[in-house]
Chain A
Amino acid sequence: MRGAKSAMWVAGAAVVALAATACGSGSDSAGGSNDGIVRAWWGDPQNPLEPANTNEVQGGKVLDMIFMNLKEYDPKTGKANLEAADSITTTDQQNFTIKLKPNLKFSDGTPVTASSFVDAWNYGALVTNKQLNAYFFADIDGYDAVHPAKEGAAPTAKTMSGLKVVDDHTFTVKLTQKFSTWPDRLGYKAFAPLPKSFFTDHAGYLDKPVGDGPYKVVSYSKGTSMKLVPNPYYTGPSKPKNKGVLLKVYTDSNTAYADLQAGNLDVLDDIPAEQLSHAKSDLGGRYLNQPAGIIQTISFPLNQKAWNAPGMDKVRLGLSMAIDRNTITQKIFQSTRTPANDLTSPVLGASGGYSSDIAGDATTFNPAKAKQLIQEGGGIPGGHMTIGYNADSGSHKQWVDAVCNSINNVLGNDKACVGAPTGTFADFRNQITKGQMTQPFRSGWQMDYPLIDDFLTPLYASDGSSNDSHYSNPQFDALIKQANAEPDTAKATTLYQQAEKLLFKDMPVIPLWYQNGEAGWSSRVSNVTENAFSYPVYTDITVNNG
């Protein structure tokens, strides 16, 4: 008896001890509550934090906080305003003179000069630096010499001949051709200036990046967290309204969501799909959901004869009209997608080129007309089509199946369309870039900068860098060229829209929906908004009682 009792004692004591320590850990508060610092969700950036090497959202977020470019995009309207630049002038839309504001400084106290920009851009363009965003500099004269298009070719120069430093605060840019809206691109973070330390101590720089923006990095432990405080040298318009931001990397957004509810996290801009249906009530309305600069489409392989034959444009248009976008976005995406009615994004605003009626009825669900158009055009090639997607990320299977069902219902044939999964995103992209797709496939575009040009030129110009559908229309190319040379922005936008209109006649892609940006926040913070890139506007966030 006594032995059994002692065994129970051991077990009992262990349980009590465990419970006690568990309780103990519960009372620890993660991060002080009165330090005025915003604790925000973060994902581990995929690439080293270099402006010209960051092409995804998580790294982009940080660059947005620590850099001030020549121009910056207004968080509400997406309009490009001068920030680091005092003026950007041109007389011929090809040669630009850029004057910097005086006395700008990096967060390490060194001055921002004309060569901070010129050196940074030359670094980004040089092929041996392997910067993923190098093509952003392709419009600058002399790019071919530093970044030959041919695989394996060595660069013949280290700097672009189109960039010339005039004095400490002035430099000139010569483009390869006329491009009136080019200055508006300069808000993209690939065009950020870099301090001397980037070139002298590169490894040290990557451990603790230095910029000229509203925030300054105080500590960065890779893969875990980054702490930013307001940059004392920053003189721009978006001075932080909080005492700093702590970016915390989470292994899983469900965990982050739990931490948000428990009050250990303040801002979460990646609400997991499972929680969407009840996020609003969980968070007491501290939740936002608005269209972002991302459009999802289905691309047709126009390099395949079957999909490019005469009359197929009618079939492609019919297929677009056979998709019930409203129901799919509501049922499958819980309204975190907004049905598309053009090929840009609402974040551009009407003045920026977004138009809700440019597509005519091409994006309106109309079963009768859709069926008629498909039949007039000769039907789906081979009577059967598939929609390709990658199975490893996102919930592509669900919506592809839904789109196919919608098409099948319209045609009264439940074998007309099925989904065709590919295992990984990399493999999927590989097939697309090699032009091996024989059937329609899913595609998406996240804008680099809020300009209509970015939604059209790279995707549909004959030599566009991401022309996945192999669309080619000389009329379209001519209109884009004309728009690029047009000095008046409003007129240029109209020309871009004329080009976009052609796309609804030729239908190289079916516009599906705009992806929305979401964010939830804790009761500890207020004024959480998102900009056109769906990044939270960290500088505006205020900490209550902070």
Chain B
Amino acid sequence: MGRYVIRRLLQMVPVFIGTTFLIFVMVYALGDPVAAMFGDRAPDPATAAQIRHDLYLDHPLPVQYLHYMGQIFTGNFGKAATGQPVTELMGQAFPVTLRLTLVAFAIEAVVGIGLGLLAGLRRGRFADSSVLAFTLLVVAIPTFVTGYLLQYFVGLKWGLANPAVGDGAPLGDLILPGIVLAGVSLAYVARLTRTSVAENSRADYLRTAVAKGLPRRRVVTVHLLRNSLIPVVTFLGTDIGGLMAGAVVTERIFNIHGVGYQLYQGILRQNPPTVVGFVTILVLIFLAANLLVDLLYAVLDPRIRYA
């Protein structure tokens, strides 16, 4: 187990270097960030040269990349276009996105597993078909459509929630965007649970449990659900990273000043430190989540061993 973890951690190094370099090159390829600062006006060459020198843009790309990586390892992520340190932006953005992710995650887990269980137990009946139809619908509609629709109806027409998230992203305001963000994953969780439940409800151990005369509630929760959740937990684990990174659209629609918003601003203003910095952290989160899930396998299913 220990050796496995070390090997996995070592594998992360090339992935990390590769992604940061790719992002760095891509942001660089977008064009000259200094020219964009001057708007419709021709940049004053002396001022532009000063800014370039300050941003280390007067060096060749590989040197810039090395310089940047060197800074990262000393905890310096550079400065955003507004002169704010990127670490400060991260300090503001990540907690907000994390909160949104957790809200979405809770909705996804509770509603998804609930619906899946309902459908799996009522296989072939009306409840099952309606869950299937519902999830199909949710998967088929793009996030920004559900986002704007819910914002318009729930937020504006019926006035049930604020159409935009207020200052500091209070938890109550995050529920509507949480539902939108959770949507697609929720459908997957529901379907995964349904299949798993449907399969396990014919398993021998379940028949034994019923034959033993255990109460139905105990059979379902302890025997059926627990065993059916192994694939679902795997999916939920990897999805945390996905939710954080996938919040760009949802954050924009609901005015959430999180990671997605900062990334968008960084790209718009062609500010490499912002984009590369945030993506680097996202990559790390994703890698860590993946490793955690792989380790969880062994915990959930004793038959799996890592060497």
A15 to B134 alpha-carbon distance, docked (Å): 15
Kindly state whether residue A97 has any CB partner on chain B within 8 Å. Answer: no
Residues from chain A with Cβ under 8 Å of B48 in the complex: 151
A425 to B32 alpha-carbon distance, docked (Å): 9
Kindly state whether residue A110 has any CB partner on chain B within 8 Å. Answer: no
B50 and A130 contact, CB distance less than 8 A: yes
Given A223-B257, A255-B253, A433-B35, the answer on whether A7 and B164 have CB atoms closer than 8 Å is no
A255 and B162 contact, CB distance less than 8 A: no
A47 and B42 contact, CB distance less than 8 A: no
A130 and B51 contact, CB distance less than 8 A: yes
Shortest CB–CB separation between residue B85 and chain A, in angstroms? Answer: 11
Digit string of B215-257 for contact with A (CB within 8 Å is 1, else 0)?
1110111000000000000000000000000000001111111
List B residues 41-55 near A (Cβ within 8 Å): 41-51, 54
A256 to B163 alpha-carbon distance, docked (Å): 9
Kindly state whether residue B142 has any CB partner on chain A within 8 Å. Answer: no
Kindly state whether residue B12 has any CB partner on chain A within 8 Å. Answer: no
Kindly state whether residue A350 has any CB partner on chain B within 8 Å. Answer: no
Kindly state whether residue A482 has any CB partner on chain B within 8 Å. Answer: no
A468 to B39 alpha-carbon distance, docked (Å): 13
B42 and A468 contact, CB distance less than 8 A: yes
List B residues 145-168 near A (Cβ within 8 Å): 148, 151-152, 154-156, 159-164, 166-167
Give the interface centre of A8, A225, A259 by most chain B CB atoms within 10 Å: A259
Kindly state whether residue B176 has any CB partner on chain A within 8 Å. Answer: yes
Kindly state whether residue A201 has any CB partner on chain B within 8 Å. Answer: no
Which one of A147, A249, A465 lies within 8 Å of B41 (CB-CB)? A465
Which chain B residue lies CB-closest to A207?
B84
Among B262-270, B288-296, B297-305, the stretch that binds chain A is B262-270
Among A16-24, A179-187, A285-293, the stretch that binds chain B is A16-24
Which one of B31, B162, B265 lies within 8 Å of A44 (CB-CB)? B265
A424 and B162 contact, CB distance less than 8 A: no
B111 and A21 contact, CB distance less than 8 A: no
Give the interface centre of B92, B155, B159 by most chain A CB atoms within 10 Å: B155
A427 to B29 alpha-carbon distance, docked (Å): 10
Residues from chain A with Cβ under 8 Å of B217 in the complex: 2-3, 6
Residues from chain A with Cβ under 8 Å of B51 in the complex: 130
A25 and B170 contact, CB distance less than 8 A: yes
A21 to B42 alpha-carbon distance, docked (Å): 53
Given A15-B111, A429-B35, the answer on whether A2 and B215 have CB atoms closer than 8 Å is yes
Kindly state whether residue A122 has any CB partner on chain B within 8 Å. Answer: no
Residues from chain B with Cβ under 8 Å of A26 in the complex: 159-162
A281 to B81 alpha-carbon distance, docked (Å): 38
Q: B residues touching A (Cβ–Cβ < 8 Å)?
A: 30-33, 35-51, 54, 81-84, 89, 92, 107, 110-111, 114-115, 117-118, 121-122, 148, 151-152, 154-156, 159-164, 166-167, 170, 172-173, 175-176, 179, 215-217, 219-221, 251-257, 261-262, 264-265, 269-270
Q: A residues touching B (Cβ–Cβ < 8 Å)?
A: 1-4, 6-8, 10-11, 14-15, 18, 21-26, 28, 30, 44-48, 55-56, 127-128, 130-132, 134-135, 147-153, 206, 222-225, 248-252, 254-256, 258-259, 261-262, 264, 423-427, 429-430, 432-433, 443-446, 458, 465-468
17 pairs, A vs B, C-beta closer than 8 Å: A4-B118, A10-B110, A132-B38, A150-B45, A151-B49, A206-B83, A223-B265, A248-B167, A252-B253, A255-B252, A258-B151, A261-B163, A262-B156, A262-B162, A423-B31, A425-B31, A433-B35
New A-B contacts (4) at CB < 8 Å, excluding given A22-B160, A47-B82, A251-B251 = A11-B114, A151-B46, A250-B255, A254-B253
